Amino acid sequence: MFNKRVKIKELLSWQPNNQEITVMGWVRTFRNNQFIALNDGSTNTNLQVVAALGVFEEELLKRITTSASLKVTGVVIPSLGKGQTLEVKATSIEILGDSDAEKYPLQPKKHSLEFLREKAHLRFRTNTFAAVFRVRHTLAYAIHKFFNDKGFVYMHTPIITASDAEGAGEMFKVTTLPFDNPPRNEDGSINFKEDFFGRNTNLTVSGQLEGELAATAFGDIYTFGPTFRAENSNTTRHLAEFWMIEPEMAFYDLEDNMQLAEEFIRYIIKYAMEHNREDLEFLAQRLTEEEKALPQDKRSEMGLIEKLEFVINNQFEKITYTQAIDILLQSPAYKKKKFQYDVKWGIDMQSEHERYLVEKHFKKPVIVTNYPAAIKAFYMRQDDGCEPGKETVAAMDILAPGIGEIVGGSQREERLQKLEQRMQEMHVPAEELWWYLDTRRFGSVPHAGFGLGFERLVLFVTGMTNIRDVIAFPRAPKTAEF
């Protein structure tokens, strides 16, 4: 029976005592015609299987090639090999799936991450990506556990939507109309009444607006699902399809929002460190080796494990946007013209500005609050008592070392008149969002929420430097191969 097998991670914790077991996995290496390094994905550590000389047929041994899958039955014995306490002396070996050694793309040698992106269907079999995706799994589980333990309701918000929550306009269209000859109105515009939904629809950029509806009934909710941006960005930080965590909480203000977000980030990082220590130590070593090729000033000041422990053990710095701009204007980097982008009050801070605040000035995660209203979304609560021309909103961004913004959130505008006025100023059609405005008409409450890009979190925790390496099958401009 296949379900009688023992996973290698569990087996490696045993005391060897001639126990008879069955293991299954893929061959990493086969040397001297008797030592098989077997891996089943449960850990990066291989199990050594010994095929004693003269016991197995030559024809079978020839089929034990890199990435062939095996079923091995044998006894667990102490190992004399370096770095391993036990091994399995095989009594039977069955080839479950052959692998042509000459054609298999991932030979047992070091491959570049760029090369492995082209082999995304096989890269899980490497130690680096096995570790990354086990950590990703743990982080996803920790997110659900955190919110569940706090009594939040998990909401599934729609992937197909008629609203643009961000006002960004960079959305993928969803249609059943023929591309070559769509039906048109008399003025030449496309007649969406004949489309599947009878109107213009898109892939969602955020579940926030629908999440707010649920929060005004359940109090505390969260969403965790895919979101899409048709942004033509070929960078190490952008994807066209990515996952977002978006909690929305009734009876919360900006301060409550910040406290929850900080607690949330600390919790899930700590959970990963407790449950994936071996994977994180492997990734930390990989990062150290990778950075040896960089100039000293480009290397991380802290190792990966040290950085994660620092986040867990230190309070996040809290500053206003105005204070952040003042710090940047007084910085040696600004005075020596080292910033690529200009600094002045009113700008949407670029990644280089955010990273300076986090990595050079404070040297820890930073929460920036009260951004200019002009650069933020229509739904953010307008701050009272602002001087003319310097209107701000109750927004907050959490900036993390290495990647800049990791969380964006705000207290939402609960005052109907203020919200309608803001929508009019930003040309957001109120008639299309009548259902959203109803939450302000019928029992409106102060409420807040934030969004966390899951892949950016995984980047931070794993120490990887390209966002395409922390999602299984990255979607980016001209990239939809697998």
Confidence of residue 2 (pLDDT cuts 50, 70, 90): low
CB atoms within 10 A of CB 189: 9
Same domain, 33 and 132: no
Q: How confident is the model at residue 166 (pLDDT cuts 50, 70, 90)?
A: low
Answer yes or no: is pLDDT of 290 > 80. yes
State residue 162's pLDDT score.
87
Q: Decide if 194 is inside a domain.
A: no
Token digits for 56?
């197995």
Domain final position from 109, 139, 154? 109
Q: Which neighbouring-strand residues pair with 31?
A: 35
CATH (domain of 72): 2.40.50.140
Instruction: Burial-class residue 479 by CB neighbours within 10 Å (0-12, 13-18, 19+).
Output: middle
- Rounded Cα gap, residues 132 and 283, in angstroms: 8
Domain count, the chain: 2
287 domain-assigned: yes
Phi, psi of 6 (to 5 degrees): -105, 130
Q: Name the nearest CA neighbour of 447 among 396, 481, 416, 410.
A: 410
223 and 99 housed in the same domain = no
Q: Are residues 137 and 101 in the same domain?
A: no
Q: Which residue has the higher pLDDT, 298 or 363?
A: 363
Provide the CB-side half-sphere exposure for 460 (13 A, CA): 32
Mean pLDDT of 434-443: 96
Average pLDDT for residues 299-309, to the nearest whole number? Answer: 87
The string of pLDDT tens digits covering residues 369-422 is 999 999 999 999 999 988 888 999 999 999 988 778 899 999 999 999 999 999
Position 234 scores a pLDDT of 78
Which tokens in the block code for residue 40?
Answer: 């089943």
Q: 111: helix, coil or strand?
A: coil
User: In the predicted model, what is the mean pLDDT of residues 114-126?
Assistant: 92
Residue bearing tokens 């008149």: 417
Q: Please tell me whether residues 35 and 103 are part of one structural domain.
A: yes
Please answer whether residues 474 and 468 qualify as being in contact, where contact means their C-beta atoms are separated by less than 8 angstroms: yes
Instruction: Specify whether 30 is located in the same domain as 157.
Output: no
Indicate if 23 and 155 belong to the same structural domain: no
User: Among candidates 263, 247, 215, 253, which has minimal Cα distance to 394?
Assistant: 253
Residue 286's domain comprises: 125-170+205-469
User: Which residue type sits at 405?
Assistant: E
**What is the pairing mode between strands 447-453 and 392-400?**
unpaired
Both tokens of residue 20? 């008879």
Decide if 117 is inside a domain.
Answer: no
258 part of a folded domain: yes
CB 163 within 8 A of CB 197: no
CA distance 109 to 470: 21
Q: Answer yes or no: is pLDDT of 186 > 80.
A: yes
410 and 313 share a domain? yes
Give the pLDDT of residue 49: 97
Q: Are residues 89 and 146 in the same domain?
A: no
Measured CA to CA, the distance from residue 349 to residue 331 in angstroms comes to: 15
| In contact, 165 and 291? CB cutoff 8 Å | no
Q: If you average pLDDT over every residue of the chain, what do you get? A: 93
The confidence score (pLDDT) of residue 169 equals 60
Residues 253 and 149 in one domain: yes
- Is the pLDDT at 140 greater than 90, yes or no? yes
How far is it, in rounded angstroms, from Cα 127 to Cα 279? Answer: 9
Q: Does the pLDDT value for residue 301 go beyond 80?
A: no
Tokens of 225: 């699902």
User: Please, which residues have CB within 8 angstroms of residue 463's CB and are 6 or more apart in sequence?
Assistant: 283, 284, 286, 287, 304, 307, 402
**Scanning the structure block, which residue is given the tokens 């390094």?**
37
Q: 45: closest CA among 278, 285, 290, 304?
A: 278
Domain endpoint, select from 109, 134, 151: 109
Is residue 390 assigned to a domain? yes
Q: What is the pTM of this model?
A: 0.93
Residue 396 bridge partners (DSSP): 369, 409
Q: By the 8 A CB rule, do 364 and 314 touch? A: yes
Closest CA to 443 of 155, 146, 215: 215
The predicted pLDDT at position 298 comes to 74
Confirm whether 177 is domain-assigned: no
Residue 80 has a pLDDT of 84
What CATH number does residue 328 fall under?
3.30.930.10
Q: Residues 52, 153: one domain?
A: no
Task: Give yes or no for residue 1 having a pLDDT over 70.
Answer: no
Neighbours of 191 (CB within 10 A): 12
Average pLDDT (344-351) is: 94
CA distances to 115, 278, 316 from 472, rounded to whole Å, are: 15, 21, 31
Q: What is the mean pLDDT of residues 238-267?
A: 96
Could you tell me if residue 181 is inside a domain? no
| pLDDT higher than threshold 80 for residue 41 | yes
**What's the confidence (pLDDT) of residue 110?**
85
Radius of gyration of the chain (CA): 27
The mean pLDDT of 96-110, rounded to a whole number, is 91
If pLDDT is split at 50, 70 and 90, which confidence band does 167 have?
low
3-state secondary structure of 227: strand
Q: What is the pLDDT of residue 168?
A: 56
Sorted by sequence, the CB contacts under 8 Å of residue 303 that are 6+ apart come out as: 284, 287, 288
pLDDT, tens digit, 9 for 90 and up, residues 216-231: 999 999 999 999 999 8
Clarify whether residues 43 and 145 are in a common domain.
no
CB 370 within 8 A of CB 392: yes
* DSSP three-state, residue 266: helix
| Tokens 């300076």, located at residue | 356
Same domain, 40 and 136: no
Query: Could you tell me where the beta strands, DSSP code E, fall in 229-305?
Result: 241-250
Residue 331 lies in a domain: yes
- Token pair 């050079």 is at which residue? 360
